[in-house]
Chains A and B, each alone.
Chain A
Amino acid sequence: MDRPNPLRPGLLVGFGVAIVFAAIVPHLVSDFTSFQFTQAMAYGIALLGLNILTGYNGQFSIGHSAFYAVGAYTAAILLYHFGWNHYATLPVAALVAFVVGFLFGLPALRLEGLYLALATFAFAVATPQLLKFDAFEHWTGGVQGLFVPKPEPLIEGLSADQSLYYVTLAIMAFLMAVAWCLLRSRSGRAIMAIRDNPIAASTMGINTALYKTTTFGISAMYTGIAGALSVFVTEFVAPDAFNFFLAVNLLVGSVVGGIVSIPGVIFGGLFLVFVPNFAQDISRAYPFVPPPWAIFGIFLILAIYFVPFGVWGAVERALAWWKRKSAA
């Protein structure tokens, strides 16, 4: 088939610059800032999962904190109780999250839009309580959670934070590439066709049930990997870190970056790490400014009013405008 090569020179140059920039960042900033960037990238991977599900497949989830928790706890339990190597826990966390997501996707099949949002909402609200449950306490550490060590630097001369930064960067780049290939493939077109018109999609021979549950699983897998990476970064897990507000956070990041985009997750992740601190500073400095979470909520609503396509959507629109203008 004759298709234009999607890897346009402009795109390649853009990626090249981004990767070179990302590679030198840890040497320009402090360890703490590298740590924050690593956290932002972990969020970015989770947002990627949410974007694939919501932006491209049209299934809502306001419960992705639950899958994040699944990944995080899988990694933490393997590290704490079995003394596994950090990076060996990642595939297992991915697999467990995929299975949980796939299973949750089965009832989700019968649930459209709003009902799915409701079921995932319930899942997110119930998660901390499940993690605290007595019967699992031996494994999960109950309310206290589990403490795990930070991974050792892979290359001599790098600090633990710098090493983790590079590993996370590589994983994120890989997962973004996988998502990009997936969404450009035949399966990707099926995924989007289901979002745009499920009935038409099924009459064209797409197995909507299989695609929807698998997409749910893949989305949960991405988010689970992100959860596991976040454990390496923060060095502990506790039930209340995975409450409903984490789910809200993920939704905010997704919307800010652009929910129907892949590169947007980088902006979403950075937003989630740096803007709350900024909001906190403002609300500490001025007593009449509402608390950070309220600012977050206001930001969310304003973003939906004015830029529902997110940062990356805005970039794309600007590029399209510029192209039209230079062509004319």
Chain B
Amino acid sequence: MDLFLQLTLAGLAIGSIYSCVALAVVMIYQATDHFNFAQGEMAMFSTYVAWTLVGLGAPVWLAFLLAVGISFLAGVIIERVIVKPVENAPVLNQIIVFIGLLVIFNAVAGWIWEFTIKPFPSLFPEDLGFKSTLIGPHHLGVIALTLGVLALVFAFFRFTRVGLAMRAAAANPDSARLVGVSVGWMLALGWGLAASIGAVGGILVAPIVYLEPNMMAGVLLYGFAGALLGGVSSPGGAVLGGLVVGVLENWVGQYVPGGSELKLTFALILIVGVLVFKPAGLFGRVVVRRV
């Protein structure tokens, strides 16, 4: 029973990281109807930025905040400079641009920081004042921090004018433009926010999987699975989907023979399964198309 609880709690912790990635993916999807395949590599790059700052002597929390801020700016710039030219291009062209970004970030990270595995410090103290055999301090911190971030994101969209404008731009760009919302900049802001949330995910997952240029491939896949399971049109659903996927991953790894070696295959099965049996996800809107 203890093992089961441990697995579940650790699953929730890793799942909350998937939630971050899923949320980042869903935010861009909501605004543009596209999955950003480079989301994972962008998060990985942000994590390297944080690692470099720590190496320069910055306290780990300061490095975290700076990296999140830098990622925001980088996200805005990437949208304005690289993604904007294909805004109205066919889907394939946009996907190819995302893949190009993925490859560039991966290669440049390997070039600057090399492909060797690096340890990454946890944001949370080893000693939390109490001991638990069920969950480690890092995992507990991850759950708390991601819940905090998600609450902030929710409050931003629900209670601020900019948040409202962003939702308007995503829901109905033409009408939003008519009432004076700068849709283009809202998109850029969305990219910035998504990059920041991704950075949070990357920095939180790095102490668990170690820092290396390919560390996000699996995380991104699980993030996609979480986003799909929750429903790509529902940010709340994406968060829940991420958590569920994290827990399922741990259960499958432990209880299904061969499961620990085939974690990516499990993500594949999950993605295809959701798309085939419940394409709208658990909480997504079902899109009805008229002929």
Segment of A150-158, A159-167, A179-187, A293-301 engaged in the interface with chain B: A293-301
| The residue from B102, B261, B265 contacting A134, defined by CB atoms under 8 A apart | B261
Query: Which B residues touch A294, using CB under 8 A?
Result: 103-104, 107-108, 111
List CB contacts (< 8 Å) of B238-280 with chain A.
Answer: 258, 261-265, 267-268, 271-272, 275-276, 279
B110 lies within 8 A of chain A by Cβ = yes
B103 near A110 with CB under 8 A, answer no
B93 near A304 with CB under 8 A, answer yes
Query: Which A residues touch B92, using CB under 8 A?
Result: 54, 60, 113, 259
B191 lies within 8 A of chain A by Cβ = no
Instruction: Write the nearest CB–CB distance from B95 to chain A, whole angstroms.
Output: 5
Query: Which A residues touch B62, using CB under 8 A?
Result: none
A111 lies within 8 A of chain B by Cβ = yes
| The residue from B100, B217, B262 contacting A133, defined by CB atoms under 8 A apart | B262
List CB contacts (< 8 Å) of A80-109 with chain B.
Answer: 107
B146 lies within 8 A of chain A by Cβ = no
Contact with A along B90-129 (1 / 0, CB 8 A): 0111011101111110111011000000000000000000
Known interface pairs A119-B271, A126-B265, A134-B258. Does A255 touch B96 (Cβ–Cβ under 8 Å)?
yes
B107 near A126 with CB under 8 A, answer no
Contact with B along A115-134 (1 / 0, CB 8 A): 10111011101100110111
A221 lies within 8 A of chain B by Cβ = no
B48 lies within 8 A of chain A by Cβ = no
Contact with A along B71-99 (1 / 0, CB 8 A): 00000000000100110010111011101
Q: Which interface residue of B95, B258, B263 has the most chain A CB atoms within 10 A?
A: B95
Interface size on A, residues (CB 8 A): 43
A123, closest chain B residue (CB): B268
B96 near A115 with CB under 8 A, answer no
List CB contacts (< 8 Å) of B44-86 with chain A.
Answer: 82, 85-86
Whole-angstrom distance between the alpha carbons of A132 and B92 in the complex? Answer: 31
B111 near A297 with CB under 8 A, answer no
Known interface pairs A135-B258, A301-B97, A304-B100. Does A129 touch B264 (Cβ–Cβ under 8 Å)?
yes
Whole-angstrom distance between the alpha carbons of A130 and B110 in the complex? Answer: 25
Can you identify 24 A-B contacts, CB atoms within 8 angstroms? A54-B92, A62-B95, A114-B35, A118-B228, A121-B224, A122-B264, A122-B271, A123-B268, A125-B217, A125-B218, A125-B221, A126-B265, A129-B263, A129-B264, A130-B265, A248-B102, A290-B107, A290-B108, A294-B104, A297-B103, A298-B100, A301-B100, A305-B85, A305-B86
B residues neighboring A (CB under 8 Å): 33-35, 37, 82, 85-86, 89, 91-93, 95-97, 99-104, 106-108, 110-111, 217-218, 221, 224-225, 228, 258, 261-265, 267-268, 271-272, 275-276, 279, 291
